[in-house]
Amino acid sequence: MSSIQAAGSHRPSDSTAVVPHGRARLVLLSVLAGAVLASLWSFHFVDSVIGDNVANTLLGHDAKGTAITGVVAGAVFAFVSGLAGTFTACNVAAFGAVIPLVREGATWRDRLRETLRPLSRLALGMVVVSGVYGAVGALLGERLPQLSQATVGNGLPVRLLQASVVFGIIGLAFIWLGLATIKILPDPLAGLERRFPNVRLVVLGALVGGFLIGRPFPLFHKLFVYAAETHNALYGAAVFVLQSLGNVVVMAVLFAILMLAARGRFAQWLAARPARLATVAAVAFLVAGAFTVIYWDIRLPSMFGYGWYPVAGW
């Protein structure tokens, strides 16, 4: 058996995968980590301090205040606004879950190929979802809750209500995948994966692409408004795909550098104890899922008087 096959022979989704010890403690600590992250997370810092400054620097002007003046400018804005919104907890966790699926390679070319393979499958799922939603968004425009200016209840914007629903579903999907990885729940992808070995990565990419369906990031909202004004489904799909790709390109580059710099040692370390594969993937999914559900479905409503959640004062 080759070194590449050996390193990839045990995967978290395999029915024969070794279940890590202390599963209850693993779940509890992961959920607590997600809860703490939800309390500490500052949307103002991520969206304004990081996001706006990155976009302003790359575009050379005020990204929020300057109108998008044409299709080319819109395409550039789409990719740059994606870059500006790179560092979200869900993005970090999604790539964390991909790490155990990367196989070892004997040479740097092998390692590069084995690194790019899962990234390409991830991108496929992401592009399909973001492209379809971009086309639908361009056609429906303000009929979508994400572009609505209406509020409900205690002044909760309808667009944030959509975000709460969408991210809540994505978060629950991450949690289910995490629990399935350590055999607490049945794996919803096991049957499909026997027929289509790459389906897990495509589904994970689709979940990442789904971030756009609820995302309230102001620069993305501006792009969405412009795309809807064109009423061009093809253009809407194109700029949403560019925005989605821009959103993950930095993480993809960092991921590739990490895998190449490790020279296969990380894959060897994971493969040395098969339970490590399950542990790393489960923690990534569970922390991301817990953060997403708690932030969007508990902390966000509490900001409008629905319940309470402790928030760091920065």
What is the residue-averaged pLDDT of the chain? 85
Which pLDDT does position 249 carry in this prediction?
85
For residue 17, pLDDT beyond 70: no
Whether 14 maps to a domain, the answer reads no
Tell me the C-alpha distance between 54 and 39, whole Å: 25
The answer to whether residue 153 is domain-embedded is yes
Q: Is residue 254 part of a domain?
A: yes
Residue 13 has pLDDT above 70, yes or no: no
> Where residue 78 falls among pLDDT bands split at 50, 70, 90?
very high
pLDDT at 243: 93
pLDDT at 239 over 90: yes
pLDDT at position 44, please?
84
pLDDT average, residue stretch 140-153: 92
| Portion of the chain with pLDDT greater than 90, in percent | 53
Q: Report pLDDT for 32.
A: 97
Res 96: pLDDT: 61
**What is the token pair recorded at 190?**
């096991």
Q: Which of 18-32, 77-91, 97-111 has the lowest mean pLDDT?
A: 97-111
Using CA atoms, how far apart are residues 273 and 162, in angstroms rounded to an integer?
42
pLDDT at 45: 86
312 within a domain of the structure (yes/no): no
Q: Tell me, yes or no, whether 291 lies in a domain.
A: yes
Indicate whether 61 belongs to any domain: no
pLDDT computed for residue 161 by the predictor:
95
Residue 181 lies in a domain: yes
Handedness of CA 2, 96, 175, 269 (dihedral sign): positive
What is the Cα–Cα distance from 227 to 70, expressed in whole angstroms?
10
What phi and psi, each to the nearest 5 degrees, are found at residue 112?
A: -65, -45
Give me the pLDDT at residue 5, please. Answer: 37
Residue 166 has pLDDT above 90, yes or no: yes
Q: Is residue 44 part of a domain?
A: yes
What is the reported pTM? 0.87
Range of the domain at 98: 23-54+70-303
Q: How many domains does the chain have?
A: 1
**Weakest mean pLDDT among 130-134, 189-193, 214-218:** 214-218
